[in-house]
Amino acid sequence: MVSSAMIKICGISTEETADAVTNAHADMIGFVFFPKSPRHVSVKQAKELADHVRGKTKIVALTVNMDDAGLREISEVIAPDVFQLHGSESPERCAEIREIFGIPVMKAFGISCAEDLEAVQAYIPFVDRLLFDAKPPKNSDIPGGNGVSFDWKLLQGLELGKPIMLSGGLGPENVREALAISGVHAVDVSSGVEREKGVKDIELIKAFVREARSVAE
């Protein structure tokens, strides 16, 4: 039986690569609203791309400690299916965003050891999905898309009552191993399908989805 792993391709910024995501039948497409990221898009850019793919894949808006005004603009202009909160948002802030905008929330956490998973507990009632990413390198000022991974064994048998997505250092060459070792059923990739920082590669997107879909349960 073939696993129906959920796949998110994040940091899309061109129509060509957005088409690659939908043609490969990835479940989610992510747009990054964080100026320090090489994958940052303006709301105007994201609206054009979101309108282009709407109905073919779920639209995820990645933000980092954004205020209500910024979130409201994204909500009204782009109408994302999910807000991905990739900053230091508190459980209360996650609950507030969910309540104000009525959009499901996926909260990202940087993981490097088992103790990091303890902080997740307080968020569980207030979010719809948990995303586990590697902690960024010490010299990085962006919280994700750094191309580093963590020990996937930390997620084995983890039952938190909310769906889990694995991110960090994934690519076509290791996504099958990551799914098998972690036991999760959803993966997120950004830098792992790029030919250079911030520039997605269509063939790598295809290869990533193909490899993730090929994992047998």
Calpha distance 98→93 (Å, rounded): 9
105: Cα within 13 Å, side-chain hemisphere: 28
User: Which is it for strands 105-111 and 194-196: parallel, antiparallel or unpaired?
Assistant: unpaired
Calpha distance 144→64 (Å, rounded): 10
Concerning whether 94 is annotated as a catalytic residue, the answer is no
- Produce one character per residue of 45-75: b if its CB has 16 or more CB atoms within 10 Å, e if not: ebbebbeebeeebbbbbbbbebeeeebeebb
Calpha distance 154→205 (Å, rounded): 26
Considering the candidates 10, 19, 27, 94, report the single residue annotated as catalytic. 10
Residue 16: partners with Cβ closer than 8 Å, 6 or more residues away:
202
Considering the candidates 51, 68, 94, 133, report the single residue annotated as catalytic. 133
Q: Are 115 and 101 in contact (CB under 8 A)?
A: no
The per-residue DSSP string of 162-184 comes to S-EEE-SS--TTTHHHHHHHH--
- Which positions are catalytic? 10, 133
